[in-house]
Chains A and B, each alone.
Chain A
Amino acid sequence: DTGVSQNPRHKITKRGQNVTFRCDPISEHNRLYWYRQTLGQGPEFLTYFQNEAQLEKSRLLSDRFSAERPKGSFSTLEIQRTEQGDSAMYLCASSHIQVTDTQYFGPGTRLTVL
């Protein structure tokens, strides 16, 4: 049983560049979530998918952010024209809603925008 995996684990980029992160959820989990965590705060919800459908997006998710889950399995989160304020840990979680409401998190991707 493999857990949630995220790649890359670390990403350093220059302001204005685009970045893309990948999340592979636990097999057969039909819900996938993205959160962002900054220093000293708890994770904040960004968006979630049920299978391939993106059902909700937070106000935190500006137009520069886009997420996809094309086949209902892995997901990508893209940030265009990165800003220094985008520096954070980006966390992915998955759950199987028919089994449990518990979300299991991946190790996260640490983004640093210079």
Chain B
Amino acid sequence: DQQVKQNSPSLSVQEGRISILNCDYTNSMFDYFLWYKKYPAEGPTFLISISSIKDKNEDGRFTVFLNKSAKHLSLHIVPSQPGDSAVYFCAASWGTSGSRLTFGEGTQLTVNP
């Protein structure tokens, strides 16, 4: 039962262009969503989060959009840089779950110079 799903295992974009990473979820109880970036042999690094009471949150080059009716969220990176190349995970939690995170499978982003 995959409650959080990232359907694209990989994404390749040119430096300077926009990267859009997508994530779908099935559990309507989720009320907090996060994106993490992971380099090989390191732990996930927190990027940005959004509460279910919002539909957009922005932090520098990173913007997360939440569409609750579609149970879909996306991460936009503008402009993309080669250093952004990593695996990106979306994760979700809900209040009564003790904030345990449910992760998607990840999307490998490659930004080409």
Contact = CB atoms under 8 A, between A and B. Distances in A.
Nearest to B45: A105
Interface residues of A, number: 28
B99 A42 contact: no
B42 A40 contact: no
Interface stretch (B12-20, B58-66, B68-76, B100-108): B100-108
A4 interface: yes
Interface in A73-114: 91, 93, 95, 97, 101-108, 110
A56 B18 CA distance: 40
A49 to B, nearest CB: 10
A108 B98 CA distance: 21
Interface string A25-58: 0000001010100001111110010100001100
B30 to A, nearest CB: 12
Interface of B: 4, 32, 34, 36, 41-46, 49, 89, 91, 93, 97-106
